[in-house]
A and B are shown apart, each in its own frame.
Chain A
Amino acid sequence: MSSSGKSLDRRDFLRGSLGALPVALGAGMAVGGPGAAAEPPAYRPKFFIAEEWAFLRAAVDRLIPPDAEGPGAVESGVPEFIDRQMDTPYAQGALWYMQGPFYEAPPELGYQMKFTPRDIYRLGIAATDRWVHDNKGGKRFAELDAATQDDLLSQMEGKKIEFPDIPANLFFGMLLENTKEGYFSDPIHGGNKQMGGWKMIGFPGARADFMDWVDQYGKPYPIGPVGISGTRG
C-alpha cells in the first residue's frame, strides 16, 4: 500500500487539513461528545493538539460510553492513556519491523503500511474531521450528535467510507484497540481511573494470588481490584 507521500509534520498537518477550520477548543478543555462525563483534574495532552484532543475525547466516549453499567472512556482517562502512549516506543513504531519495501498483501499477512501509531492518529483524526467538515455542514466530529458520531464510526469500522490519506478502518481499529487498552490496563498507564473498567467486569487487577479461591467452585471472587501502585478499588 502506498502512502500519501505527505509529510506528517505538524505545520503541514495544520495547513493541509485543518487550517481552514475555526480553532475553537483549547487543550484540556472538557468538550467531548454528548453524554461525556466529568473528567478528573484536567490532563494536558502532550502529543495531541487541541483539535485532535477534542476528537479523541468525543470518539472514545462513543466507543465506551458512560452508562449505568460502568464508567465511560473519558471518565476512565482513556484520552490521557492514549496521549501518554504516544510518547512510547510503541507509538513511534519502534517495536515493529518498519523497513521497506511496503507492498499491498493479503490481509492475513498482517499490517504492511509504513505508518506508525503516531502517524495513524495524526492522519486519521485529520481525515475524519475533514470528512465531517465536507459532509456534515462544516462541523467537526466532536460537534456531531451521538447518533451521527456512532453512525460515522460504524462506517469507518465497516469500510463504508474511505479517506484519501489513510484507510478509515485502519485508524478506527487502532483507536478501538487503544481505547480498550486504556480502559482495562493498570492505572499506572493513565487510564482505568479508579479501576472502573476492572470493577465493571470483576477483574481483580494486580491481586495475583488466588490460592484461597482456586477451589471455591462457582463462587464470586470477593475482593476488589488492586493496582500496581498499591491503589485499591
Chain B
Amino acid sequence: MAAATPKPVDAVIVGFGWAGSILAMELTEAGLNVVALERGQNRDTYPDFAYPKVIDELTYAVRGKLFQNLSRETVTIRHAPSDRAVPYRQFGAFNPGDGVGGAGAHWSGVHFRITPDELRLRSHYEERYGKGFIPDGMTVQDHGVTYDELEPFFDKAEKVFGTSGKANNINGTIVGGGNHFEGPRSDEYPLPPLKNVYSAELFAKASANLGYHPYPLPAANASGPYTNPYGAQMGPCNFCGYCGGFGCYMYSKASPNVNILPALRLKPNFELRANSHVLKVNLDGTGKRATGVTFVDAQGREIEQQADLVILSAFQFHNVRLMLLSGIGKPYDVASGEGTVGKNFAYQNMGTVKAFFGPDVHTNPFIGTGGGGQAIDDFNADNFDHGPLGFVGGSPCWVNQSGVKPIAGLALPEGTPKWGATWKKAAKDYYAHTLSADAHGSNMSYRDCFLDLDPTYRDIHGQPLLRMTFDWKENDIKMTRYVVGKLTEILKSMNPKEVSVSVKKFGDHFDVRNYQTTHLVGGAIMGADPRTSAVNKFLQSWDVPNVFVIGSSAFPQGTGYNPTGMMAALAYFSAHAIRTDYLKSPGPLVPV
C-alpha cells in the first residue's frame, strides 16, 4: 500500500533499456533531475556477463536468464478479433528483456538506420504505383518525419554505439564499399567493418556473381578498440559467438550498460532505481497532464513518484500497455477503426535458407558476431520494381552468423529424423558444414492487427495483460516467398550438397512456438495527424503533452531492417526536441 513519497523530480523515465538510457543521458545533460525506474534487476558486465559463466547456452539462450520473467507478466495472443486470446506462456517467437539494459543487453547488435522510402511508405508507394496499389485493410502510414531530419541522430547513435560498417554514400558522393542503396550519410561509420566469417565471404561472392550488391552489415559489435562521445570504452570483438540472448563479456557489443551507464551513473542529477515496476502514469483532473507515475518497489510497496515530465521507454508493448492502463490517448477500436493507442501492431517477417556442405567445407558456425556479416539490399524496401509483383515491402538478405550453438541452433537437412542414429550421424556430418542465410522481411500493418487490454488474464500485480491480435496476411507472405526464392538461388549457386528452405506458406498463421525476432513494432505510432497517430513526430503524446513515448512502438509498420538503430535515432531526435524547444515552453511541440 501507499508508502513514503519520494521528492518530485523534473523527469521520470520508465524502463532502462536503450530508449530509457538515451533519454536519461540527454535530460541529465540538459540539467534536469532525472529518476529512471527499471522493473528488473541491476546488471552490469561484471559480474553479470563475466567469462566463463555467461558462455552457457542452456542458462541464457535456452532458459532465458536475461529475458522478461513470463511468470510475472506476459501478453495474450489471438489471430483474429473473433478469437479468444490465450497467454504467451513460454518463450518462443520473441524474447523481450528486463533488467538494467533491457533487451539492449541481450540483443545481437545489427545496427541499421531505415531506408528513406520506408519513412514515407504510403506516400512513396502511392506516388510510384498509384493510389490503388496498397490493398484495403493495410493501414500503413508515413512516419511524419524525413530522413534528412533524422540523419544527424542516426549519426549520433552510431557514434555512441561504436558501430562497425562501411559508408557508401557520404553527402551524396558515392564512396563505394558499402550498401549501394543506402540513403546519404553525413559521415563514415565510427569503426571499419568487422572481418567476414567464411559463410559471409561465401555469400558475398555468390551474390556478387549473380549481379547483386553485397555490403558489410552494420554492427554495434566493435571491430577495434573504441571510445564513444561519452568516454565509454569498448574492446574489440573476438567473434566468441555469444551475443543474442547473452551479455557481452568482452565490452564489445554496444549496450546501455557499456555505452551509456558508465558516464550517466557519475551524474549527481541522475538516479537509477532497479526492481521498480511502474503500474501507471498518473494524470491530473483534466486528464491532459501527467503528474508522475506509481510504481511498486523492491519491497512491494506502492510508491508515487511525481515528475514534470514522464518518459515511457519500456519495451514496445509495455509502452502501449502503460498508455492503455493510464488512460493516455484514445484506445484503438477495431470495429470503427477510430482511436490510436494499440493501432498498427506489426512485426518482422523472416524466411531462412540453409546450405549444407560436404565434409571438406568448414563453415565453423560457432565463430560469429551478433551484428556482423554480409547483406544485399537488392530486394529490400522499394529497391526493386514492385509493380508487376503486386505486394508492398521487401527484405534485406544476409548471412549474419552470430554463433550457432548446438542446443537451439543445430539445423539439419529437411527430412532428417529428429532423433536416433540417423539424426546423430546427420548432426555429426553437418553441424560444422552449414551456412545459414535470412530474408529479414518487413511486415505491413493492418486494420485488424492491434493491441488492447485482455479481458481475462492478469499480471502478478493484478493488472490486465496486453492482448495481441495478429496474423500473417497475403501481401506479406507473397513478399517473403518472392525474396526467399531469390535467396535460395544465391545459396544454390554455392553448390552445397543440400538446401533447406523455411518460408511461410499462404494460409500459415502466426506461430508463437519458434523464435523469429524480437522486433515488435507499433501500437503507439508516430505521425502527422492526431486522428491517426498516438504521438507526434517528436514522440510526444498528442493527448498528454508532458508524456513522451520512446521506442519501436512508434513505427507505423514493420521495416525490412532491424529496429534498434532507427529506435535509437528517434530517441535522440525526441530528446533534442525536448531540450531545444519543450523545456523552454512545455506544451505541444506540434500544434494540434
A residues sitting closer than 8 Å to B (CB atoms) are 62-65, 67, 69-70, 88, 90, 93-99, 101, 103, 105-112, 150, 153, 157, 176, 179-181, 184-186, 188-189, 197-198, 200-211, 213-215, 217-221, 228, 230
B428 adjacent to A210 (CB under 8 Å): no
Task: Please state if A110 and B89 are interface contacts (CB–CB under 8 Å).
Answer: yes
CB within 8 Å for A184 and B428 given contacts A109-B78, A110-B92: no
User: Residues 355-383 of chain B: 1 if any A CB is under 8 Å from the residue's CB, otherwise 0?
Assistant: 00000111010110000000000000000
Tell whether, in the assembled complex, residue A62 and residue B420 are in contact, meaning their CB atoms are under 8 Å apart: yes
Least Cβ–Cβ distance between A2 and chain B, in angstroms = 14
Determine if B242 and A185 form an interchain contact, defined as CB atoms under 8 angstroms apart: no
B51 contacts A208, C-beta separation under 8 Å: yes
Cβ of B265 within 8 Å of any chain A Cβ, yes or no, is no
Chain B: which residue is nearest A201 at the CB level? B431
CB–CB A211/B239 < 8 A: yes
B87 and A201 contact, CB distance less than 8 A: no
Stretch of B303-311, B509-517, B520-528, B558-566 with 4 or more beta carbons under 8 angstroms from chain A: B509-517
- Do A206 and B71 have beta carbons less than 8 Å apart? no
Closest to B513 in A: A110
Q: Is the CB of B239 within 8 A of A97?
A: no
Whether A95 lies near B64 (C-beta < 8 A) is yes
Q: CB distance B86 to A103 under 8 Å?
A: yes
For the complex with contacts A109-B512, A110-B90, 6 further pairs of A-B residues with Cβ separation under 8 Å are A99-B458, A106-B79, A110-B512, A112-B89, A206-B56, A218-B362
Q: Is the CB of A96 within 8 A of B90?
A: yes
User: Contact: B198 with A217, CB < 8 Å?
Assistant: yes
Residue among A101, A103, A204, A206 with max Cβ neighbours from chain B (10 Å): A206
Q: Which of chain A's residues have a CB closer than 8 A to the CB of B421? A: 65, 67, 69
- The answer to the question of B55 belonging to the interface, with a C-beta cut-off of 8 Å to chain A, is yes
**Alpha-carbon distance A211/B512, docked complex (angstroms):** 36
Considering the complex, give the chain B residue whose CB is closest to the CB of A198.
B406
Of residues 8 through 57 on chain B, the ones whose CB sits less than 8 Å from some CB of chain A are 51-53, 55-57
Does B410 touch A at the CB level, under 8 Å? yes
A220: chain B residues at CB < 8 Å are 362, 364, 432
What residue of chain A has the Cβ atom nearest to residue B457's Cβ? A99
Query: Nearest 7 CB-CB pairs, A to B?
Result: A208-B240, A201-B431, A185-B58, A184-B406, A206-B55, A108-B511, A202-B432
CA distance A70 to B428 in the complex (A): 9
Give bound CA distance, A174 to B345, whole Å.
32
- Residues of chain B within 8 A of A206, CB atoms compared: 52, 55-56
A3 to B362, CA, bound (A): 48
Contacts of B242 in A (CB 8 A): 208
Least CB separation from A112: chain B residue: B86
Q: In the assembly, what is the distance between CA of A179 and CA of B71, in Å? A: 24
Give bound CA distance, A146 to B236, whole Å.
51
A99 to B61, CA, bound (A): 24
In the complex, the answer to whether A214 meets B509 with C-beta atoms within 8 Å is no
B331 at the interface (CB under 8 A from A): no
Known: A97-B87, A208-B51. A202 touches B56 (CB 8 A): no
- Could you tell me if A181 and B62 are in contact, using CB atoms closer than 8 angstroms? yes
Task: For the complex, give the distance between the alpha carbons of A195 and B63 in Å.
Answer: 20
* Chain A residue contacts of B52, Cβ below 8 A: 206, 208, 228, 230
Measured in the bound complex, the distance between the Cα atoms of B73 and A228 in whole Å is: 32
Total number of residue pairs linking A and B with CB closer than 8 Å: 180
Distance of A109 Cα from B198 Cα, bound (Å): 37
| B150, CB-defined interface residue at 8 Å | no
- Distance between Cα atoms of A208 and B240 in the complex (Å): 4
Q: Are B57 and A185 in contact (CB under 8 A)?
A: yes
Task: Specify which chain B residues have a CB less than 8 angstroms from the CB of A210 in the assembled complex.
Answer: 238-241, 364, 366-367
In the complex with contacts A109-B78, A181-B407, A186-B57, A95-B420 CB distance below 8 A: no
- In Å, the complex CA distance between A107 and B509 comes to 10
Residues of B participating in the A interface, judged by any CB pair closer than 8 Å: 51-53, 55-58, 62-64, 69-71, 73-74, 77-79, 84, 86-90, 92, 195-198, 201, 236, 238-242, 249, 360-362, 364, 366-367, 405-407, 410, 418-421, 423-425, 427-428, 431-432, 456-458, 509-513
What's the least CB distance linking B193 to chain A, in Å?
A: 12
Which A residues are in CB contact (< 8 Å) with B511?
Answer: 108
In whole Å, how far is A36's beta carbon from the nearest beta carbon of chain B?
14
CB-nearest residue of chain B relative to A110?
Answer: B512
Distance from A113 Cβ to chain B, minimum over Cβ atoms (Å)? 9
CB atoms of A157 and B418 under 8 A apart: yes
Most buried by B among A65, A203, A228: A203
A65 in contact with B57 given A96-B71, A220-B362 (CB within 8 Å)? no
Our pick among B87, B196, B367 for the contact of A213 (Cβ within 8 Å) is B367
What CA separation (Å) do A97 and B92 show in the bound complex? 13
Distance in Å from the Cβ of A35 to the closest Cβ of chain B?
10
Q: How far is the CB of A96 from chain B (nearest CB, A)?
A: 5
Establish whether residues B431 and A202, one from each chain, have CB atoms under 8 Å apart when the complex forms: yes
Given A201-B432, A208-B241, also A97-B71 (CB < 8 A): yes
Contact of B362 among A181, A198, A219 (CB under 8 A): A219
* Chain B residues, Cβ within 8 Å of A94: 71
CA distance A88 to B62 in the complex (A): 14
What residue of chain B has the Cβ atom nearest to residue A204's Cβ?
B366
Q: CA A188 – CA B57 in complex, angstroms?
A: 12
Interface pair B366/A203, CB less than 8 Å apart:
yes
The interface residues of chain A lying within 8 Å CB-to-CB of B57 are 184-186
Q: Which residues of the partner chain B approach A218 to less than 8 Å between Cβ atoms?
A: 198, 360-362
The smallest C-beta distance from A182 to any residue of chain B, in angstroms, reads 9
Option from B53, B77, B410, B424 in Cβ contact (under 8 Å) with A109: B77
CB distance from A230 to the nearest CB of B (A): 8
Q: Which residue from B73, B238, B420, B427 sits with its C-beta under 8 Å from A65?
A: B420
CB atoms of B58 and A214 under 8 A apart = no
Residue of A nearest to B196 (CB): A215
Contact status of A186 and B58, CB under 8 A, knowing A218-B198, A220-B362, A220-B432 = yes
B89 CB contacts on chain A under 8 angstroms: 96-98, 110-112
B69, closest chain A residue (CB): A95
Residues of A within 8 A of B240 (CB): 208-210
Which residues on the A side are within 8 Å of B420 (C-beta)?
62-65, 150
Residues of A within 8 A of B84 (CB): 103, 105
Determine the distance from Cα of A99 to Cα of B73 in the docked complex, in whole angstroms.
10
Q: B87 to A99, Cβ gap below 8 A? A: yes
Q: Which of A108, A189, A215 contacts B512 (CB 8 A)?
A: A108
Q: Which residues of B contact A88 (CB under 8 A)?
A: 63
- In the complex, 26 of the A-B residue pairs with CB atoms within 8 angstroms, ordered by the A residue number, are A64-B419, A65-B424, A69-B425, A90-B63, A96-B90, A99-B457, A108-B512, A109-B86, A110-B92, A110-B512, A111-B90, A153-B419, A203-B405, A204-B366, A206-B55, A208-B52, A208-B242, A208-B249, A210-B241, A210-B364, A210-B366, A211-B238, A211-B239, A218-B360, A218-B361, A221-B362
Q: Which residues of A contact B362 (CB under 8 A)?
A: 218-221
Verify B58–A69 contact, CB threshold 8 A: no
CB-CB nearest in chain B for A180: B407
Contacts of B249 on A, CB cut-off 8 Å?
A: 208
CA distance A227 to B161 in the complex (A): 31
Contact: A63 with B512, CB < 8 Å? no
| Residues of B with C-beta under 8 A to A215 | 195-196, 198
Picked from B77, B427, B458, the residue with its CB within 8 Å of the CB of A201 is: B427
Say yes or no: B428 contacts A69, CB within 8 Å: yes
In Å, the complex CA distance between A213 and B363 comes to 11
| Alpha-carbon distance A188/B56, docked complex (angstroms) | 9
Partner of A95, one of B51, B70, B239, B509: B70
Distance to closest chain B CB from A58 (angstroms): 14
